[in-house]
Structure 1
Amino acid sequence: MKKYIQTLLFIVTILFSGNVLANEINRIKVGNEDAKITIIAYESLTCSHCANFHKNVYPQLKKDFIDTGLAKIEFRHYPLDIIAFNASKIAQCKNDGDSKVLEILFDKQQKWVKGNNASEANDNLKKFIEEQGIDIDFKKCITDKKIEDFVLNDRIEGAKQFKVNATPTIIINNEKFEKSLNYKNLKKSLEKMI
């Protein structure tokens, strides 16, 4: 019941947030900016399916399409709860567009996604960030209004523009990827675009 209430409060916060564009914040991207194929991944950092995508699909996708310059990927935030919302702010906080923190959070998701309430979860997230040697001001990152707006706007725009309602949701050249999300299906779709 507590998680339900937290999720409900989180969604209400999103609905009543202003749509403020934070232009000075860089999007987390990997790949050649001029690549023919643009992949957008809407993800929630507490989503086990998203972590699975990063562990079992993304490495091969990166090797075959991103590192070769055929595609680029943008990671967009679609937090499903307050814990994911704060983790998204941490991933975005360095403001350099690098995916390192995002990858660490997905790779070791089970080490920090725990707690009976938002306060406990934040404490676990903060401890995890410190243990990983990630040099950020945790409190400043999770209370920064520009970062907060940036993350919320990703979610709002995803729902409006692409009808995102679950994570992960993959968009390829502005079209929603509707097949089962595994590397084989993704590869077939991408090969048709080359």
Structure 2
Amino acid sequence: MRHLLTIPVLALALAACGDKSAAPAGPGGDKASTAPAVVAPAGLNWVDLVTATPEGGFRMGNPDARVKLVEFASLTCPHCREFHEAATAAIKSKYVASGNVSYEYRNFVLNGPDYAATVLARCQGAGAFFGLLDSFYTDQAGWTEPFSRIAKADQEALGKMPEDQAVRRLAELGGLADYVKLRGMPRAKFDQCLADPAQMKAINDLRNLAVNELKLTGTPSFIINGTVQEGVFTWADLEPKLQTALR
């Protein structure tokens, strides 16, 4: 298994989002889908139905939706944060809630802080994932900043550790234990999550899927019904593609 601290963590290039030049996220159109809504089971809102997928992502919405939207994204990527801020409310209210679109988020880690935060965002499962995702994007500038102050000696020590130990130590050095504690994760759970090899494997498998099979070169990247959306980086780019898929 490749040591992800070489992709690189220790450069701490938190603004890097791959090799694409994304334009600023713009507002999507106001035109709502004309497709008839799919009624959810009694007492259920499609937005509240969140499940883990076999591919390793977390899917919100009707599992049988005729339009399946997948996003590959990084928690430290500013363009991903911009997309999240511009798109999340509309994706939920206009598309997922109708039952016609499902939305799946798959982590595509780009650096060490991203890796550490991703483990913590994922480890409590589907029910907690999207709430933590919102927090990590909303607070991106704040929680990533301590990583830029990690001493050179600590960085060198991290590079000599096995992957699991390095990720845990990096999370500690970056102050993530306190960050997630304020969001309901006690220290014992923090330690448990960062010692779970299944979490590491799932994240590595998602990165391998993105890079080696789908040939994705940056974040955010989008897939609609199995087709990678080339040149689509913002909500203004993506929403017309969803509208077309729903016709």
Q: Which blocks of at least 5 consecutive residues in structure 1 are unaligned?
A: 11-22
Structure 2 residue aligned with 1:129: 180
Residues 69 and 103, structure 2, Cα contact 8 Å, conserved in 1: yes
Residues 89 and 142, structure 1, Cα contact 8 Å, conserved in 2: yes
Bigger Rg, structure 1 or 2: 2
How far does residue 62 in structure 1 lie from its aligned partner after superposition? 2.0
Distance, in Å, in 2 between the alignment partners of 1:24 and 1:188 is: 28
Further displaced range: 39-48 or 110-119: 110-119
Distance, in Å, in 1 between the alignment partners of 2:141 and 2:112 is: 16
How many residues are aligned here?
Answer: 178
Residues 29 and 72, structure 1, Cα contact 8 Å, conserved in 2: yes
Query: Secondary structure of 2:126's match?
Result: coil
Give the 5 Å matches for 1:3-152.
7-8=7-8, 27-96=57-126, 98-114=129-145, 115=147, 116-117=149-150, 119=169, 122=172, 123-135=174-186, 137-152=189-204
Residues 111 and 128, structure 1, Cα contact 8 Å, conserved in 2: no
Match of 1:60, as an amino acid? Answer: A
Query: Secondary structure of 1:53's match?
Result: helix
Distance, in Å, in 2 between the alignment partners of 1:139 and 1:25 is: 25
Distance, in Å, in 1 between the alignment partners of 2:170 and 2:213 is: 34
How far does residue 38 in structure 1 lie from its aligned partner after superposition? 1.0
Percent sequence identity over aligned pairs: 22
How far does residue 8 in structure 1 lie from its aligned partner after superposition? 3.3
RMSD value over aligned CA atoms?
Answer: 2.5
Instruction: Select 2:206's aligned residue among 140, 149, 154.
Output: 154
How far does residue 179 in structure 1 lie from its aligned partner after superposition? 3.2
TM-score by length of 2: 0.65
Residues 87 and 125, structure 1, Cα contact 8 Å, conserved in 2: yes
Distance, in Å, in 1 between the alignment partners of 2:55 and 2:90 is: 28
Per-residue CA distance 1:111-156 (angstroms, 9 max, x = gap): 2112233656544222111122335711221221001100110010
Match of 2:183, as an amino acid? Answer: Q
Residues 56 and 206, structure 2, Cα contact 8 Å, conserved in 1: no
Residues 31 and 73, structure 1, Cα contact 8 Å, conserved in 2: yes
Give the 5 Å matches for 1:159-170.
159-170=211-222
Distance, in Å, in 1 between the alignment partners of 2:185 and 2:102 is: 25
Distance, in Å, in 2 between the alignment partners of 1:173 and 1:7 is: 30
Per-residue CA distance 1:11-31 (angstroms, 9 max, x = gap): xxxxxxxxxxxx999632211
Q: Which blocks of at least 5 consecutive residues in structure 2 are unaligned?
A: 11-52, 156-168
Q: Sort the Cα spacing of 1:34 and 1:25 in 2 relative to 1 into closer, same or farther, 3 A.
A: closer
Per-residue CA distance 1:41-75 (angstroms, 9 max, x = gap): 11111111111111112221222111111111111
Structure 1 residue aligned with 2:239: 187
TM-score by length of 1: 0.81
Distance, in Å, in 2 between the alignment partners of 1:191 and 1:53 is: 17
Match of 1:112, as an amino acid? Answer: W
Query: Secondary structure of 1:32's match?
Result: coil
Q: Sort the Cα spacing of 1:26 and 1:184 in 2 relative to 1 into closer, same or farther, 3 A.
A: closer
Residues 57 and 106, structure 2, Cα contact 8 Å, conserved in 1: yes
